[in-house]
């Protein structure tokens, strides 16, 4: 393997490993350090960003000790932390391991930047490979899976990464005379792209690493967002704007991967590329920021093409093995005694600075759901930054992949993406168990985006808690379908496959966070209604679904998650939900369920009873459901219309979420 290809492979594997750690670190910040919004958002943001600020010392460390020894040590720490996270039991140990892995990854980036001017090929292949791998896993990371398959693949990934790092370091230890000769050869190429990259030090391309990781993980190359966007494409006049399980393998994921790679590794005329790719990137980010479910698919495709094209514009660097070795020699001096190259220092600071931009943009975007300010400008601003840096950079070098290599790489990754869609296709509903005619077992559960009290993604625990109640209908709150902050999982699709239940999803805060109804009975109609915010930072909605129980017997299920304004009860939202539910039911049997953030006797609770609905959990009161490890608050409820009888009320103890599920058997008139 030629030197530049070894460099590309080594960096791509490092990107995959670093993204794996980020997918644990981000939700650990929220669920463990943040304690589900119990920690002030300002303190949480400072803690998160502080690790990236600390990493700004890494380029100086590299300059003092040398890129090669620092890089190898950081690579070992990154791989070790990644493997340790698979074994960690959760809690604070997981948080600190994830922080250590993140810091090691940032130091590794700085060391790699000191030795390599051209990160774009490895970055692009690493982002694409990570997305395809995540899709093949159904968006459930290896870290959370464990078991021998998870451990085997994790060890293979970490081992391959360390092997390429060691091989690259050995390959750059050529005699000083050879490096000097290569450097002289490079200096003689006065008008080459290599010289252009040398003048800039490759810093613009390295500056884009952090923004590219965020844009890809949040939008362009997010398998969870692919499935969520596809589910909106399977609506009908009866399900306007609602997410339904897709019934066939869509083309969206394959197109996103293909467009990204082709745009990265092809070179249209520069005058065309300079306005086409930034325009596509900004347009895609703007569609995403508009928070319209129906616009997710075009937003993904535009962003994938625009991001790849902007990376291509910034891709300038040495073209030959000799040039790459000369660059490494300049960075390391061949002795490991310290970096003396100004360009290498600029690249190191650019790499860490770009990741700092990743942290600031992530905190700014997701903190809006705690603090209540508009966040649509964040992805658009980040896209503008990428476009400006790409256009202002030096002329792009020839693509690292071209011709047959590009075609086979792109086709291979697209086929693997299609295979992922076939493996994780939605399943049919299981047969309904034998119960008395008119009886329906319902469970309502706030699943906290799939994370248990220990901070680990606990799909198995959620499945056990739900299946233990033997439900026919499941109402879920706090359903996440692709937030990078929570690791980029489609929690709804993952649970629906485990439970063998189709779903209807309604967005609340944005198109990929909201409430869902899963049912063994077919859904005949559905409607969603936004609720007034009244000062609450996170959006809320009411989802009404009409189920066909057979024999012409309908049941209307309304799912919601009320969001009270600071220091107040959700009275206004409760009144709106009660009015919506009674109107939508139109005299049919009705059940209303969810996390209502109100307790019996509160004014908001009285809005439901005042609307003629009965407390289905009354026979078991008091029935506290939060927090799950020491339940004290009765905030998860089920209400029914007159004539619907209830029995078998239960709140099984589990720590798979910060709430307990509530279950009840309904007997319809």
Mean pLDDT of 268-292: 94
Q: Tokens 């391991």 map to which residue?
A: 97
Mean pLDDT of 221-247: 86
Are 617 and 638 in contact by the 8 Å Cβ rule? The answer is yes
Note whether 316 and 358 are same-domain residues.
yes
Residue 212 has pLDDT above 80, yes or no: yes
Residue 426 is predicted with a pLDDT of 77
Question: What DSSP designation does 474 have?
Answer: E
Mean pLDDT of 423-441: 72
Q: What backbone torsions phi and psi does residue 442 show, to the nearest 5 degrees?
A: -120, 140
Choice between 133 and 190, residue whose per-residue pLDDT is larger: 133
Residue 638 is predicted with a pLDDT of 98
Mean pLDDT of 503-525: 94
* Partners of 308 in beta bridges: none
Which CATH number covers residue 582? 3.60.10.10
Residue 36 is predicted with a pLDDT of 62
Cα distance from N-terminal residue to C-terminal residue, the chain:
73
For residue 430, tell me if it sits in a domain. no
**Cα angle 426-429-430, degrees, rounded to a multiple of 5:** 130
Domain boundary among 369, 391, 423: 423
Q: Tokens 């989802």 map to which residue?
A: 543
For residue 432, tell me if it sits in a domain. no
Q: How far apart are CA 65 and CA 337, in angstroms?
A: 6
Residue 435 is predicted with a pLDDT of 52
Q: How far apart are CA 398 and CA 381, in angstroms?
A: 29
**Average pLDDT across the chain, whole number:** 88
Domain residue limits at 606: 439-667
For residue 582, tell me if it sits in a domain. yes
Residue 189 is predicted with a pLDDT of 39
Cis peptide before 171 (omega within 30 of 0): no
Residue 567 has pLDDT above 60, yes or no: yes
Which CATH number covers residue 298? 1.20.1250
Domain boundary among 388, 423, 458: 423
3-state secondary structure 281-292: HHHHHHHHHCCC
- Assign 175 a pLDDT band (cuts: 50, 70, 90): very low
Note whether 148 and 244 are same-domain residues.
yes
The per-residue pLDDT for range 518-552, each reduced to its tens digit, is: 999 999 999 999 999 888 778 899 999 999 998 88
Q: How far apart are CA 254 and CA 76, in angstroms?
A: 34
- Assign 39 a pLDDT band (cuts: 50, 70, 90): confident
Q: Tokens 């340790």 map to which residue?
A: 84
Tokens of 314: 């910034």
Are 500 and 517 in contact by the 8 Å Cβ rule? The answer is no
Question: Is beta strand 614-615 parallel, antiparallel or unpaired with respect to 636-640?
Answer: antiparallel
Note whether 171 and 227 are same-domain residues.
yes
For residue 346, tell me if it sits in a domain. yes
Three-state DSSP class for 541? strand
Note whether 9 and 155 are same-domain residues.
yes
416-427 CB burial, b ≥16 within 10 A, e <16: bbbebbeebebe
For residue 385, tell me if it sits in a domain. yes
Note whether 415 and 452 are same-domain residues.
no
367-386 CB burial, b ≥16 within 10 A, e <16: bbbbebeebbebbbebbebb
The per-residue pLDDT for range 148-165, each reduced to its tens digit, is: 888 999 999 999 999 999
Q: How far apart are CA 52 and CA 68, in angstroms?
A: 21
Q: How far apart are CA 187 and CA 318, in angstroms?
A: 11
Give the orientation angle of helix 120-136 with respect to helix 252-265, to 10 degrees: 170
Note whether 385 and 491 are same-domain residues.
no
Residue 3 has pLDDT above 60, yes or no: no
Choice between 653 and 184, residue whose per-residue pLDDT is larger: 653
Are 220 and 300 in contact by the 8 Å Cβ rule? The answer is yes
Note whether 373 and 487 are same-domain residues.
no
Note whether 415 and 496 are same-domain residues.
no
Give the orientation angle of helix 296-314 with respect to helix 377-392, to 10 degrees: 30
For residue 434, tell me if it sits in a domain. no
Helices in 424-489 by DSSP H: which ranges? 459-467
Q: How far apart are CA 11 and CA 324, in angstroms?
A: 14
Domain boundary among 374, 394, 423: 423
Q: How far apart are CA 285 and CA 378, in angstroms?
A: 9
Note whether 515 and 613 are same-domain residues.
yes
Q: How far apart are CA 397 and CA 466, in angstroms?
A: 55
Are 104 and 25 in contact by the 8 Å Cβ rule? The answer is no
Q: Which range has the worst mean pLDDT, 181-195, 567-581, 595-609, 618-632? A: 181-195
Q: Report, in angstroms and rounded to the nearest whole number, the Rg of the chain calculated over CA atoms.
A: 26
Q: What backbone torsions phi and psi does residue 441 show, to the nearest 5 degrees?
A: -95, 120
Are 316 and 205 in contact by the 8 Å Cβ rule? The answer is yes
Are 529 and 541 in contact by the 8 Å Cβ rule? The answer is yes
Burial of 191 (0-12, 13-18, 19+ CB in 10 A): exposed
Q: How far apart are CA 154 and CA 598, in angstroms?
A: 44
Question: Rounded to whole angstroms, what are the CA distances from 136 to 220, 225, 256, 488?
Answer: 17, 14, 15, 14
The residues near 327 (Cβ < 8 Å, ≥ 6 apart) are 115, 116, 117, 186, 317, 318
Q: Which range has the worst mean pLDDT, 172-186, 361-375, 560-574? A: 172-186
How many CB atoms are located within 10 Å of the residue 337 CB? 12
Note whether 286 and 171 are same-domain residues.
yes
Mean pLDDT of 240-265: 89
Q: Tokens 């307990």 map to which residue?
A: 660
Residue 430 is predicted with a pLDDT of 66
What's the number of domains the chain is made of?
A: 2
3-state helix, strand, coil in the chain (%, to 5): 55, 15, 30
Question: Of 604, 603, 592, nearest to 639 (Cα)?
Answer: 592
Mean pLDDT of 119-130: 96
Give DSSP secondary structure letters for 206-257: HHTHHHHHHHIIIIIT-HHHHHHHHHHTT--TTSTT-B---SS--SHHHHHH
The per-residue pLDDT for range 41-88, each reduced to its tens digit, is: 788 889 999 999 999 999 999 999 999 999 999 999 999 999 999 988
Q: What backbone torsions phi and psi does residue 557 show, to the nearest 5 degrees?
A: -115, 130
For residue 433, tell me if it sits in a domain. no
Note whether 404 and 468 are same-domain residues.
no
For residue 208, tell me if it sits in a domain. yes
pTM value surpassing 0.95: no
Note whether 496 and 597 are same-domain residues.
yes
Residue 559 has pLDDT above 50, yes or no: yes
226-247 CB burial, b ≥16 within 10 A, e <16: bbbbbbbebbeeebeebbbbbe
The per-residue pLDDT for range 461-497, each reduced to its tens digit, is: 999 999 999 999 999 999 999 999 999 999 999 999 9
């Amino acid at each position: 393997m030629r030197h530049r290809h070894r460099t590309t492979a080594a960096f791509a594997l490092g990107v995959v490993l670093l993204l794996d750690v980020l997918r644990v670190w981000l939700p650990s910040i929220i669920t463990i350090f943040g304690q589900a919004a119990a920690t002030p958002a300002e303190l949480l943001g400072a803690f998160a960003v502080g690790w990236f600020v600390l990493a700004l010392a890494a380029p100086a460390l590299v300059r003092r000790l040398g890129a090669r020894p620092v890089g190898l040590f950081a690579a070992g720490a990154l791989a070790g932390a990644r493997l340790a996270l698979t074994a960690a039991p959760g809690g604070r140990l997981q948080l600190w391991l994830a922080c250590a892995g993140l810091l090691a990854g940032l130091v590794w980036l700085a060391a790699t930047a000191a030795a390599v001017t051209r990160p774009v090929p490895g970055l692009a292949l690493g982002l694409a490979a990570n997305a395809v791998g995540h899709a093949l896993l159904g968006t459930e990371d290896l870290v959370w899976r464990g078991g021998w398959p998870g451990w085997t693949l994790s060890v293979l990934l970490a081992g391959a990464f360390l092997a390429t790092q060691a091989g690259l370091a050995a390959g750059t230890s050529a005699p000083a005379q050879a490096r000097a000769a290569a450097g002289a050869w490079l200096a003689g190429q006065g008008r080459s792209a290599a010289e252009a990259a040398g003048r800039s030090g490759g810093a613009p391309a390295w500056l884009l690493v952090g923004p590219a990781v965020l844009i890809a993980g949040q939008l362009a190359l997010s398998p969870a967002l692919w499935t969520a966007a596809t589910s909106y494409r399977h609506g009908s006049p009866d399900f306007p704007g609602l997410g339904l399980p897709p019934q066939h393998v869509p083309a969206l994921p394959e197109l996103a991967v293909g467009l990204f790679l082709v745009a990265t590794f092809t070179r249209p005329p520069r005058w065309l590329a300079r306005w086409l790719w930034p325009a596509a990137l900004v347009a895609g980010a703007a569609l995403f920021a508009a928070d319209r479910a129906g616009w997710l698919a075009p937003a993904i495709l535009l962003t994938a093409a625009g991001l790849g094209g902007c990376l291509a514009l910034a891709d300038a660097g040495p073209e030959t093995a000799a040039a790459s070795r000369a660059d490494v020699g300049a960075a390391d001096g061949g002795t490991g005694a310290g970096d003396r190259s100004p360009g290498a220092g600029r690249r190191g600071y650019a790499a860490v600075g770009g990741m700092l931009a990743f942290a600031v943009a992530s905190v700014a975007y997701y903190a809006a759901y705690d603090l209540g300010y508009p966040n649509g400008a964040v992805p658009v601003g980040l896209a503008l930054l990428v476009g400006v840096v790409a256009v202002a950079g030096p002329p792009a070098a020839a693509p690292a992949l071209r011709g047959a290599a590009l075609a086979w790489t792109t086709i291979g990754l697209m086929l693997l993406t299609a295979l992922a869609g076939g493996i994780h296709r939605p399943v049919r509903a299981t047969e309904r168990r034998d119960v008395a005619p008119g009886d329906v077992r319902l469970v309502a559960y706030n699943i906290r985006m799939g994370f248990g009290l220990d901070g680990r993604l606990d799909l198995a625990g959620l499945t056990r808690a739900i299946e233990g109640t033997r439900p026919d209908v499941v109402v879920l709150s706090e359903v996440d379908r692709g937030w990078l902050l929570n690791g980029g999982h489609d929690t709804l699709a993952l649970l629906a496959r485990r439970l063998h239940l189709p779903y209807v999803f309604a967005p609340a805060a944005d198109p990929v966070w909201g409430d869902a109804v899963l049912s063994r009975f077919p859904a005949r109609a559905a409607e969603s209604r936004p609720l007034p915010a009244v000062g609450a930072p996170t959006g809320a909605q009411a989802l009404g679904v009409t189920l066909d129980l057979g024999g012409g017997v309908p049941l209307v299920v309304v799912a919601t998650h009320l969001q009270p304004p600071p220091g107040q009860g959700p009275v206004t939202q409760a009144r709106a939900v009660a009015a919506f539910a009674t109107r939508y039911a139109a005299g049919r049997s009705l059940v209303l369920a969810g996390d209502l953030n109100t307790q019996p006797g509160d004014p908001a609770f009285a809005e439901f009873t005042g609307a003629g609905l009965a407390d289905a959990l009354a026979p078991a009161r008091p029935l506290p459901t939060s927090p799950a490890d020491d339940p004290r608050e009765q905030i998860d409820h089920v209400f029914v219309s007159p004539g619907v009888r209830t029995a078998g009320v239960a709140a099984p103890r589990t720590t798979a979420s910060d709430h307990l599920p509530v279950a009840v058997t309904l007997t319809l008139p």
